[in-house]
Amino acid sequence: MGLAPQTGGSTVQGPGGEKLRLLPDKQAHAAAEAEANAKAKVRRTVGGADEGQQVDRLATGVTVDAGALTSSSKREKLSEREEREGIIRFEVVNNDGTPKSSILLTGLKNLFQRQLPNMPREYITRLTFDRNAQGLAITQRGYKVVGGIAYRPFPQRQFAEIVFFAISGVYQVNGYGGHLMNHFKMHIKNNWPTIKHFLTYADNYAIGYFKKQGFKREITIPRELWVGYIKDYEGGTLMQCPLIPKVDYLDSREVLRQQREAIITKIRQVSKSHVVHKGLEQFRNAPPGFKMDPKSIPGLRDTGWTPEMDEMLRRPGRGIYFMTMKRLLTELKKNEASWPFIAPVNTDEVTDYLDVIKYPMDLGTMETKLERDQYPDIEGFIADARLIFTNCKAYNHEASQYTRLAIRMEKFLDEILAKLPSYKQERG
């Protein structure tokens, strides 16, 4: 069977450069595809050079700027895309008596009761519908509430209390939580300009989330501004978050991108570490035992390398528990009850001390041993710490001030160790 010759149409360039004839009804589709391919090629072009060409040049041994290969394309989060497409909306709500507000507040109340089962239901209802409280809800398909915040503003005291915060379980992986918090921050900035901080009580499951959103356990607001104004929850952790006036929280990634570019620009003024040099040819046909002067390696000295750096790398590294032991020692020395144990006992003044105590120990000696890597494991370190307090109780009578201080320090040591996961795991 033959095919009738086609009339009309046009030709376009194929992937390999060959000419292809197109039917008239396919010309529009081909034109659109060609335009898309052209745009894609433009996107792959970085700094005036095609990314593929950069990689090819690097493979053949030509020095290139590796920093230029970094893509700066902005990826849109799922929650941002859904907001842009109208799938979700952010609704400001308060108890003003309107039907819409009543529907949204009821949705928030049901959400909080469902996601916060340990909170009394009546308490949630009362605070959600409190006329002094405000809310911000994420809604879908009309007025279906899938996330929200209930808060109380204290503009005269420059803070707002987040009373409840929850995202419906099935949507927690969609990034709704972070997006809601960013909307909330911008809402506060735009409507309550005197508010500079957030305060909230977080349970153990929520601390990690709030840390990601900029909250810290350190409270810098004067106590007289907030004590008695916010609800104190037993077992909760009070956390604070500052509002930064110059930050657009709904476009924070652009701020971070600009900061990153500024830092990289500064680094390139003093360093050439972003430049990738071709491989060394000297080793290709070198005889056995050939050694090369590091100073002759292109670009090595530009990175700030010195021969002393090699010597540092050859030194034996610290043990895996070194930093843990160093922090423990610092905590022990900072305790106000540690003053008798900082330095060795002066045996010139306490002449019979060595007759009673056969193995003297003190925090200063422990520090010296630690710096000399004489503690191969944490058990030996803890044994020396306990030896200090055991010696003190053995030499002094029970009612002595020194014995009381030793008991306090022993208890303090046990408290620190109880919070040390690696030590608990070993002891477990």
CATH number reported for the structural domain that contains residue 97 in this entry: 3.40.630.30
Number of domains in the chain: 2
> How many C-beta atoms surround the C-beta of residue 370 within 10 A?
19
Which residues are marked as active site?
Answer: 161
| pLDDT recorded at residue 300 | 75
Residues 350 and 211 reside in one and the same domain: no
Q: How far apart are the first and last CA of the chain?
A: 83
Query: Would you say residue 272 lies in a domain?
Result: no
pLDDT for 28 beyond 70: no
Global pTM exceeds 0.75: no
Q: pLDDT band for 269, please (50, 70, 90 cuts).
A: confident
d(CA 158, CA 160): 7
Q: What's the pLDDT at 254?
A: 83
Helix axes 401-418, 378-395, angle to 10 degrees: 160
Q: How is 39-102 classified by DSSP, letter by letter?
A: HHHHHHEETTEEHHHHHHHHHTT--EEGGGG---PPPPPHHHHHHHTTSEEEEEE--SS-HHHH
- pLDDT tens digits along 283-310: 788 888 888 888 778 777 777 778 777 7
Residue 99 placed within a domain: yes
Check if the beta carbon of residue 181 is closer than 8 Å to that of residue 226: no
CATH number, position 407: 1.20.920.10
Answer yes or no: do 216 and 108 share one domain: yes
**pLDDT digits 0-9 by tens, 140-195:** 988 999 999 999 999 999 999 999 999 998 888 889 999 999 999 999 999 999 99
Give the 3-state secondary structure of residue 165.
Answer: strand
As a whole number of angstroms, the distance between CA 428 and CA 416 comes to 16
Spell out the alpha helix ranges (H) of 335-420: 353-356, 363-371, 378-395, 401-418
Whole-number pLDDT of residue 299: 75
Domain that holds residue 190: 78-251
Asked if residue 33 has pLDDT above 60, the reply is no
Q: Is residue 200 part of a domain?
A: yes
Phi, psi (deg, nearest 5) at residue 421? -60, -45
Work out the burial of residue 328: count CB atoms within 10 Å of its CB; fewer than 13 is exposed, 13-18 middle, 19 or more buried: buried
105 and 224 in one domain?
A: yes
Nearest to 157 by CA among 200, 194, 192: 194
